[in-house]
Amino acid sequence: MVGFNPRELRDACGSFATGVTVISTRTEDGDHGMTANAFMSVSLDPPLITISLDRKSKMLEKVRSSKRYAVNVLSQHMKPLAMHFAGRHDPALTEVFSVRDGLPVIPNALAVFLTDVEQEVEVGDHTLFIGRVTDIRRDNGNQPLLFSGGKFGKLASADE
């Protein structure tokens, strides 16, 4: 037995500032997206990234079914999209995706990674989807949306 509970672990992990992404995929029943900050680079050669999805999430079966996913890194002005895909549906956001190589992507995202699932690894209450990157796009004109301690934030300017 450990000396802390799951909420304490979540709060401590929340001390680590991360970027905010929308994981997206396409299945027979349409396009799907989910806000997530559990994304990381795994390998440059071969080009691999991973996402971590709760086994209870609806997105898990969508990614498993499609065997592909995109990671859309949000810029600091995209908080409404982050909230929308985190379950706070905004009816004004109806056509948020464009399509790239058969996957839904967020136009003007800071970076977009297209992947084919190479491996699934079940770990605890999550599944890691290791994806081989098949294409990337990067926009150097914006700053990332950040998340830490349960709140959104942004990078400080260089003169602060």
Please indicate, yes or no, if residue 152 is contained in any of the structural domains: no
Please indicate, yes or no, if residue 3 is contained in any of the structural domains: no
Q: What is the number of alpha carbons within 13 Å of residue 33 lying toward its C-beta? A: 29
pTM: 0.90
Please indicate, yes or no, if residue 151 is contained in any of the structural domains: no
Q: Which CATH number belongs to the domain containing residue 47 in this structure?
A: 2.30.110.10
Please indicate, yes or no, if residue 71 is contained in any of the structural domains: yes
Please indicate, yes or no, if residue 8 is contained in any of the structural domains: no
71-92 pLDDT per residue, tens: 999 999 999 999 999 988 888 8
Domains of the chain: total:
1
Please indicate, yes or no, if residue 125 is contained in any of the structural domains: yes
pLDDT of amino acid 92:
81
- Say yes or no to pLDDT of 134 above 60: yes
Domain enclosing residue 70, as ranges: 31-136
Please indicate, yes or no, if residue 123 is contained in any of the structural domains: yes
Please indicate, yes or no, if residue 61 is contained in any of the structural domains: yes
- Say yes or no to pLDDT of 70 above 70: yes
| Three-state secondary structure string covering the chain | CCCCCHHHHHHHHCCCCEECEEEEEEECCEEEEEEECCEEEEECCCCEEEEEEECCCHHHHHHHHHCEEEEEECECCCHHHHHHHCCCCCCCCCCCCEEECCEEECCCCCEEEEEEEEEEEEECCEEEEEEEEEEEEECCCCCEEEEECCEEEECCCCCC
9-64 pLDDT per residue, tens: 877 867 677 899 999 999 999 999 999 988 999 999 999 999 999 999 999 999 99
